[in-house]
């Protein structure tokens, strides 16, 4: 399965059992988060080192309700704690990861 070209294509993959193995870790983590599998998303992202993974990690802790831990990861990602909804932030993250992956 190819990397989705946009958010709509990404969302259409959510009917599958697993994300494509060839996808980057950030995209797989967001896929599990979109499926409501917080633990799998966190397990993937927790070991990643790049700035985008820190932002996704922050988002996951924000979703969990752990504001202190989320704020820590937002600082590592050099991002402010967002004022938008979790869904809006997740869509933003997916769009950015897709854009970076398809370059």
- Segments making up each domain of the chain, as ranges: 25-102
User: What's the whole-number average pLDDT of the chain?
Assistant: 95
Cβ atoms of 50 and 73 within 8 Å: the answer is no
pLDDT at 50: 83
Exposed/middle/buried for 35, CB within 10 Å: 0-12, 13-18, 19+? middle
Q: Which of 98, 90, 1 is nearest to 15 (CA)?
A: 1
Q: Could you read off the pLDDT of 41-64 as tens digits, one per residue?
A: 999 999 888 889 999 999 999 999
72: Cα separation from own chain's centroid: 17
Do the Cβ atoms of 34 and 14 come closer than 8 Å? yes
Q: 62-72: b or e for each residue (b if 16 or more CB lie within 10 Å)?
A: bbeeeeeebee
Stretches in the chain below the pLDDT threshold 50: none
Read off the pTM: 0.94
Centroid of chain to Cα 59: 7
Q: Among all chains, which residue has been given the structure tokens 């990643």?
A: 48
């Amino acid at each position: 399965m190819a990397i989705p070209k946009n958010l709509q294509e990404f969302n259409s993959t959510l009917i599958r059992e697993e994300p494509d193995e060839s996808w980057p870790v950030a995209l797989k983590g967001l896929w599990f988060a979109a499926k409501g599998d917080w633990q799998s998303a966190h397990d993937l992202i927790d070991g990643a080192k790049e700035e985008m993974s820190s932002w996704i990690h922050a988002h996951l802790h924000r979703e969990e309700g752990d504001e202190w831990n989320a704020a820590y990861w937002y600082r590592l990602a050099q991002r402010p704690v967002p004022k938008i909804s979790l869904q809006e932030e997740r869509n933003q993250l997916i769009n950015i990861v897709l854009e970076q992956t398809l370059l």
